[in-house]
Structures are given as C-alpha cells and as structure tokens.
A and B are shown apart, each in its own frame.
Chain A
C-alpha cells in the first residue's frame, strides 16, 4: 500500500461508505461530545421523528458554555443568574435523562469544558473520530484523533445514526523544528502559525503538526496547538500519537487497561504518517526564532511578537476598522499598553500546566491596582488538582478571582464579561469584536503573558519576569 498520512489512516478506518462523485462518505463517529448550547435543537429533531439515540455508549454530555462559575450558583445555594442559561442546563438534564445519555451535571466533579474533560477521562483516544457541536473540537486531535466541530443539525445526525456525511478534506503539514526559547509557549507557537497561515489559510484542510518541536511538547501543550487549528480555518488539527500520548493515557479512568491497552497500543503505534506520505500543502516554521506573541486586532491572525508594534493599515479598510475598534494606532508599541481585565482559562489554556505557568509569574506578586484577574480552570478536576498542589493558593494570594470551571469569559455567555471599551488580555482563542462582551477589546496571549499583564497592569514581556 502506498504511504499514507495519519489523517488518511483514521479517515479510511471510519468509512462506512466511501465517498463517490455524487455522495459524500458516510463516516462513523467513535465519540460524540454534547453540551447544553448546541444540542437542544438536535434533541428536538429526534423527538419529532421519534428516533432514539443510536449509541448512547458513544455519547457523553457535559455543561460548560453558559454555566455559572460562581460556587453558590453551581452548587445550588443561589439561583443561576442568567435565566436562559438556567433553562439550557435544565433542558440538557431532561434530554440526557430521556435519551439515556451520560451527563456530567452541574455539580459533578468530572464536569468541565468539553475539550478538557475528554482527554482527562481518557475517552479521547488515538485513531478515533470525535465530534462535538463546537468548533474547538480540534483540540482532541492532539491525541492523533480526527476531531472536528459540527453544527446542531449534524449533532442530530450523529445522535440518530452515529454517522456523518462528509467530503474528504485535504491535508496540510505544518513542520516545526527547533527548541522554543524560555518564556515562549505552545500558545505563542500556534498564534505564530495562524499569523503565517492567515485566518482562512487552513480552510478545507486537516492540519498535521509535525517536527521535533511538536514531539517535544507535553499533551497539555499539544492540545493548545490543535485547539486553535480552527482559527486558521482548518476544521481539524492532528499530532501523531507517541510515548508522550501513551503515558498521558496510561492511568486515565476510561482509557483501555491491561490486555486491552496492549492491543490498543499496537494499533496506536501504527497511526503516524508513513515516511514519504504526501500532503496537499506544507508550512515550515523555525520555533527557535519565535518570541511571545500577542494579538492587536479583531481576529487571531492579527498577531505580532510582544516586542513588536501595531502594524500599519496600508489602506486596508478592514484593518483600519479593526484598529479603530481596538483603539490602537499604527506604529504603537504593544508593550506598555494598559490592561483592565486578565482572563486565564478556556479550552485553549485552562489546563493544569497553564495554571502552573501563570503561577510562576504570580508567585509572590500582586495583581496591579484596578486590574481584574479572573482565573477559571478548564474542569473541576483541574480545579481540584490546582487546589491540592497549592497552585490555587498562589493564584488567590496574588489577587486572582478563582472560580468553578467552565467557558466563562471566553465567550461571555454566562455573565462573565468584559465591559465595553475595556482591554482584556485573554488566554482564550478568539478576539472577535464583542466576543468577551459587547465592545470588549481582547488581546490573545499565553498564560505567562497574561499573568505578566495582570501584575504590571500593562502589556509586558513575560521573559523579564520568570
């Protein structure tokens, strides 16, 4: 057989019916993750057509997008402040019960952001197909899974048939070589990649991140990279599974054990792209040349090294409009710009290593006067781990507002929002107009850069503080 890519191996193993010129492939889904915001309409379709969920055992539901992060609202000591959110939470409880789907309800200690809990539980596995009504499903590709976001209609398709109709995408190899320098993180790497590809450079493609830099990343870091594939327009990003992946999965509650693990390992080890496998496109990057990155505009491709300046508009009306929205002028240095809010969390940077990174800077320091530092762990398990290891104490001692897990200020559905005109340095993934609140101005950066901003009240180079 000719040399195949990781993507091709996973794709072909899940073809129930291969694609033809007339019809897309029927693709089997191994794991379907469900959350409260994009599922209600899908369950309604099932109800209208009197259909059951075909494979409840391959379906897992959690609550994250609109859920409160204040303990009293999570644990029922106070009503959920956002009424419509409360309704969605109740609706998902009803749907899960009626259709026999396992649900990590609001008070469940396994609950969290859907893309954080899948890996944590060990249900995210190499070679699997994973979908969710959420574009950052690409996160799970860090394990060598083919994972992508779908719409609510497709959520209904998967609930009813465990399958999707899909055209085979193209492949894009992103080859990264060299060692990241101290203070330069996986977040900076992916921001730099998006800066190079542009926000639609990956459209129609599945990215495979390759090279020595990627091999050297931890699983938490690989997830940060794959998470933002969609920000370059790619529906999925993948990394070949290796010993780092297998070690991560070794003691996860739902990963295979014993003989099943040996059998799985044999399968997983064969997944990597064969030597000589062909990709439709390729991008090369030198990791050693990277600096911490930060966005200055209203999409994640509008990004510069932190020591850089706001680029000129060059007569581009869209660029000009973005700078106007941000209140920035061409030529201004990024360092020194004042900051009102710092958000550390999200499925991009809400895992334990991200909180540890923030703590490295926050330890023994205080949040600057007038700055709000909101830290929202990606899952209840991350929260509990951070509390057990003392990290949470460091963060709180610095003046952070430490919350229950959820998407929170990443998209501001639950009431955690940034005020109109205020500047937020955020470890999340989207700096779109209004993403974090109407009129909010978001600058995307790593947890190190975010923590440095919290302490100084300004955009600051984290390398000078570690």
Chain B
C-alpha cells in the first residue's frame, strides 16, 4: 500500500448525496480478477455517453480537473455494495482522498486499506468546498488537518490504527499475522 502523509491538490466536486459504489464502478466491470486498470471505468455511466464518448458535462472529463487527487462529494459517499473495486478504481484514476460530511462504513474501511484517505468534515466546510470546486487544499495526515486556501485548518478524525498503517504504508495483514499466538489461544479455549 502506498503511504499517505501529506497531499496538496485542487479538488473536483461531485455535488450529489448518497453516491453509491454502483456509480463509482458499475457491476459489469467487476468481472476482473486483478485490482489494476479500473480507473478507466471509474464513474463509467456518468463519465461516458451511451455511444462511449466522454460526457463533456461530467466533472472528471473537464481538462481542468483531470489531474486532481482530491474528490469532494455530498453526504453518505460510497454507500451500497461492499465492492473494493470502488476504491481501486478511484486510486487507479489518481484520487488519493475523498472529502464528505459522511462516508459509508464499508467503503471507508476499504478505502483505508488502499491508501485512499476518507476525510469527514462538518456541514459548513463541506458546503464551502462544494461551492468552490478546484480549490487548492492540503491534507496532512500527521496533524490530521485539512488546510483551506485561506489558511484555515480543519481538523478531522481518523481511526488511529488505520492512520498508523497509512502513514507507514503498511497493511493490516502483517499485524493480524503477528497475533497468531493469541488466535491459537482463542481457538483452543473455545468450548464449541
């Protein structure tokens, strides 16, 4: 997993609530057996017209936003299906952080395991970000702050262990494997 320490980028905005993982990556693209290459199909049904050409009115097709690394979206981003293909597609496209007032549980968990930082901010700051697409912001995971263009620093919460893994670019599997003795003790002690 790619480490995440600090990220400075302009934002792209999807001003929609409840953006579900079926939109982030439609089911027909889940037939892959690897994690790579899904960026091309990110938001496929919003990004491409029925004839396959790019939809000029979709934000990520706008040349101004093509290389942004931060996505700002409405409440409850990533709801629905547990498909990890959603963060895979976002990361493959180049997105490293998602900012919203609320991020769905399974998506958040999946994102954290792929170097994609979920940043939850309050309503007022989210509103400001949604109304200012392209704003250049900085996310510092060390200090857990999001810095806005006017210098204001907004603190965000993140699960400490996930933060530790992200900062060091290590995955949780190593930690779980190191718990082997405890797991064996648990299994041995179970009466059923």
- Tell me, yes or no, whether B18 is within 8 Å of chain A by CB: yes
Give residues 93-129 of B contacting A (CB, 8 Å).
102, 104-106, 109-110, 113-114
- Tell me, yes or no, whether A154 is within 8 Å of chain B by CB: yes
Partner of B80, one of A88, A157, A430: A430
Give residues 150-175 of A contacting B (CB, 8 Å).
150-154, 156-157, 160-165, 167
| Mask of A262-294 contacts with B, CB within 8 angstroms, 1/0 | 011001000000000000000000000000000
Give chain A nearest CB distance to B50 CB in angstroms: 7
Tell me, in angstroms, the Cα distance from A353 to B185 when the chains sit together: 43
Q: Is the CB of A318 within 8 A of B18?
A: yes
Q: What residues on B are CB-neighbors of A44 within 8 Å? A: 33-34
- Tell me, yes or no, whether B26 is within 8 Å of chain A by CB: yes
- Tell me, yes or no, whether A37 is within 8 Å of chain B by CB: yes
Tell me, in angstroms, the Cα distance from A164 to B153 when the chains sit together: 34
Q: Is the CB of B26 within 8 A of A434?
A: yes
Partner of B183, one of A87, A152, A163: A163
- Tell me, yes or no, whether B84 is within 8 Å of chain A by CB: yes
Q: Is the CB of B176 within 8 A of A165?
A: yes
Q: Is the CB of B110 within 8 A of A151?
A: yes
Give chain B nearest CB distance to A326 CB in angstroms: 15
Q: Is the CB of A23 within 8 A of B183?
A: no
The chain B residue sitting closest to A155, CB to CB, is B84
Partner of A160, one of B31, B104, B177: B177
Q: Is the CB of A153 within 8 A of B106?
A: no
Give chain B nearest CB distance to A441 CB in angstroms: 13
Known: A26-B179, A41-B34, A161-B179. A151 touches B84 (CB 8 A): yes
Partner of A17, one of B81, B106, B182: B182
The chain B residue sitting closest to A137, CB to CB, is B82
Partner of B27, one of A49, A413, A420, A439: A413
Give residues 208-246 of A contacting B (CB, 8 Å).
230, 233, 235
Tell me, in angstroms, the Cα distance from A336 to B27 when the chains sit together: 31
Q: Is the CB of A413 within 8 A of B31?
A: yes
Q: What residues on B are CB-neighbors of A65 within 8 Å? A: 30
Q: What residues on A are CB-neighbors of B55 within 8 Å? A: none
Q: Is the CB of B45 within 8 A of A157?
A: no
Total contacting residues, chain B, CB less than 8 A = 52
The chain B residue sitting closest to A318, CB to CB, is B17
- Tell me, yes or no, whether A388 is within 8 Å of chain B by CB: no
Q: What residues on B are CB-neighbors of A204 within 8 Å? A: 105
Total contacting residues, chain A, CB less than 8 A = 67
Known: A153-B114, A153-B171. A432 touches B22 (CB 8 A): yes
Q: Is the CB of B161 within 8 A of A37?
A: no
The chain A residue sitting closest to B161, CB to CB, is A23
Known: A88-B33, A411-B27. A22 touches B102 (CB 8 A): no
- Tell me, yes or no, whether A343 is within 8 Å of chain B by CB: no
- Tell me, yes or no, whether B79 is within 8 Å of chain A by CB: yes
Tell me, in angstroms, the Cα distance from A203 to B106 when the chains sit together: 10
The chain B residue sitting closest to A51, CB to CB, is B177
Q: Which of B15, B28, B35, B187 has the most CB of A within 10 A?
A: B28
Give residues 6-27 of B contacting A (CB, 8 Å).
15-18, 20, 22-23, 26-27
Partner of B79, one of A164, A199, A411, A413: A199
Q: Is the CB of B76 within 8 A of A199?
A: yes
The chain B residue sitting closest to A260, CB to CB, is B192
Known: A154-B109, A161-B179. A167 touches B159 (CB 8 A): yes
Q: Is the CB of A203 within 8 A of B102?
A: yes
- Tell me, yes or no, whether B172 is within 8 Å of chain A by CB: yes
Q: Is the CB of A203 within 8 A of B23?
A: no
Tell me, in angstroms, the Cα distance from A134 to B82 when the chains sit together: 6
Partner of B102, one of A200, A230, A299: A200
Q: Is the CB of A200 within 8 A of B84?
A: no
Q: Is the CB of B22 within 8 A of A40?
A: no
Give residues 84-99 of A contacting B (CB, 8 Å).
84-85, 87-88, 91
Q: What residues on B are CB-neighbors of A152 within 8 Å? A: 84, 110
The chain A residue sitting closest to B77, CB to CB, is A200
Known: A38-B84, A157-B173. A235 touches B105 (CB 8 A): yes
Known: A157-B173, A163-B176, A235-B105. A16 touches B84 (CB 8 A): no
Give chain A nearest CB distance to B21 CB in angstroms: 9
Q: Is the CB of A162 within 8 A of B183?
A: yes
Give chain A nearest CB distance to B171 CB in angstroms: 7
Q: Which of A28, A84, A134, A151 has the most CB of B within 10 A?
A: A151
Q: Is the CB of A151 within 8 A of B34?
A: no
Known: A165-B172, A434-B22. A412 touches B80 (CB 8 A): no
Q: Is the CB of B80 within 8 A of A432?
A: yes
- Tell me, yes or no, whether A317 is within 8 Å of chain B by CB: yes
Partner of B175, one of A165, A167, A321: A165
Give residues 427-445 of A contacting B (CB, 8 Å).
430, 432-435, 438-439
Q: What residues on A are CB-neighbors of B187 within 8 Å? A: 28, 162
The chain A residue sitting closest to B16, CB to CB, is A318
Q: Is the CB of B192 within 8 A of A267?
A: yes
Q: Is the CB of B82 within 8 A of A133?
A: yes
Tell me, in angstroms, the Cα distance from A328 to B63 when the chains sit together: 33
Q: Is the CB of B183 within 8 A of A235?
A: no
Q: What residues on A are CB-neighbors of B31 within 8 Å? A: 37, 66, 82, 84-85, 87-88, 413
Q: Is the CB of B22 within 8 A of A200?
A: no
Q: Is the CB of A24 within 8 A of B82?
A: no
- Tell me, yes or no, whether B83 is within 8 Å of chain A by CB: yes
The list of the 7 closest CB pairs from A to B, nearest first, reads A84-B31, A40-B33, A151-B110, A151-B84, A149-B82, A200-B76, A135-B82
Using CB atoms and an 8 Å cutoff, list the residues of chain A in contact with chain B: 16-17, 21-24, 26, 28, 37-38, 40-41, 44-45, 49, 51, 65-66, 82, 84-85, 87-88, 91, 133-135, 149-154, 156-157, 160-165, 167, 199-200, 203-204, 230, 233, 235, 263-264, 267, 299, 317-318, 321, 411-413, 420, 430, 432-435, 438-439
Residue pairs across A and B with Cβ atoms less than 8 A apart, 9 shown, are A17-B179, A23-B175, A28-B186, A40-B34, A156-B173, A157-B173, A165-B175, A204-B105, A413-B31
